[in-house]
Amino acid sequence: MEGKIPAAVMRQTNRRQVYQYIYESAGKITAAEVSEALSMEPAAVSESLDTLVKEGLVIAGPEDSAYELDAQALYAVGISIERGGVYIAVLDMRLRELASRELTVPFSHTDAYYRGLVQEMEALLNGSGLDRNRMLGVGITVPGIIDRGKDKLVMAPTLNIWDIPLEEIYRQFSQYPVYVENDANASGYLERWLDGGQRNMIYLSLKRGVGGAILLSDRQYTGDNGRGGEFGHLRIVPNGRLCHCGRKGCLEAYCSVDRLSVDLGVTLAEFFARLEAGDETFVAVWEEYRDHLTDALAMIRMSFDCDIMVGGELTAYLEPHLPELYWELGEKALFEADRMFLQLERYGPHSDCAGTALRFIDDFLLTF
């Protein structure tokens, strides 16, 4: 005999389904359309919509009984921590930036540093008049490996920290739900979401550190110890250059964006301007960089047999160089046609902030 679902649970489930449907719809939608799409009784749809409007999550149109998401009803904060600076972004339910702040502050794993971040975040929220009751949470990204089983930040070589209990970061933000994650994993999570989450994909992040994320059609794979996708520490040159991690010959030692900027005393923009101008020194550095990058891309492609999306600071400059990369990959990858597996990330700068904020939004959509 079939058990009867309690009315309160049914109402909650209906309300969630209606909200999810409105969230996934781009524009305005009528109650009849919701009812048809979800095969839900008109009375149940109407009750759910009334509740959602009262809660401020959905806006009711004035005349045509159309409803739409109030994207600014709730928000999440993303904080991206790098060695030399921090980016704080407040994002609405549609991942539009409501406010942001870039800080030039050297990283230090101290109470004073984190207190400073909390103060900056609070000032940003106050400046935008954002009600804290509408905040879903604070996501923090770090260029490091997180072991969820041990609740530890195992290592973040570019921040020069090792073996840090996550609690030491969590407690600084204790008034809010908080989540700390690897920056490339957050960016990859966002790109997979933008892509519709239907296909396998590798995300390779080219910043000061080199990292990545393994995105399977239905989930993100981080491995048994949270190290899955740490492509930056693949050894590509035996006894090669010293890496931030202390070992020699890692991909990160050759494909960190520092190789094209800090190490040469220029910015990335200056590097590419001089490269376009045909400066021989810069052409030689770029050819070496590209050679190592395509070696790694060919290896990743051979290991995972799926598209690879390149993200991070370098992405903004890569478009004009894609033909060279495709050509070189065609030479290095075993299967000739495979050279088109390379794509550039879509979101652009600060995708890690948006990705980590998205986790709170996704969580809300599934559980509220």
- Interacting residue ranges for Zn ion, rule: CB under 5 A: 233, 243, 245, 247, 250
Residue among 78 and 211 whose Cβ is closer to Zn ion? 211
Least spacing, CB of residue 247 vs Zn ion, in Å = 5
Phi/psi for 345 (5° steps) reads -65, 155
Query: What is the distance between the alpha carbons of residues 93 and 109, in angstroms, rounded to a whole number?
Result: 31
Residue among 82 and 230 whose Cβ is closer to Zn ion? 230
202: helix, strand or coil: strand
Least spacing, CB of residue 235 vs Zn ion, in Å = 8
Query: What is the distance between the alpha carbons of residues 128 and 163, in angstroms, rounded to a whole number?
Result: 36
Residue among 77 and 251 whose Cβ is closer to Zn ion? 251
| Cβ(200)–Cβ(221) below 8 Å | no
Least spacing, CB of residue 87 vs Zn ion, in Å = 24
Residue 135, beta-bridge partner list: 75
Do the bridges between strand 342-344 and strand 307-311 make them parallel or antiparallel, or are there none, so unpaired? parallel
Which tokens go with 82? 């790098």
Cβ burial of 238 (10 Å; 0-12, 13-18, 19+) is exposed
Least spacing, CB of residue 358 vs Zn ion, in Å = 28
Query: What is the distance between the alpha carbons of residues 303 and 106, in angstroms, rounded to a whole number?
Result: 37
DSSP H or E stretch at residue 29: strand 29-30
Residue among 78 and 226 whose Cβ is closer to Zn ion? 226
Residue among 233 and 332 whose Cβ is closer to Zn ion? 233
Beta strands in 133-182 (DSSP E): 135-142, 145-147, 152-156, 161-165, 178-182
Least spacing, CB of residue 233 vs Zn ion, in Å = 4
Residue with tokens 């050819």: 287
Q: How many CB atoms lie within 10 A of CB 368?
A: 14
Least spacing, CB of residue 251 vs Zn ion, in Å = 8
Cβ burial of 308 (10 Å; 0-12, 13-18, 19+) is buried
Residue among 60 and 237 whose Cβ is closer to Zn ion? 237
Residue among 16 and 247 whose Cβ is closer to Zn ion? 247
Q: How many CB atoms lie within 10 A of CB 87?
A: 18
Q: Which of 316, 321, 367, 324 is nearest to 345 (CA)?
A: 316
Least spacing, CB of residue 15 vs Zn ion, in Å = 49
Residue among 253 and 309 whose Cβ is closer to Zn ion? 253
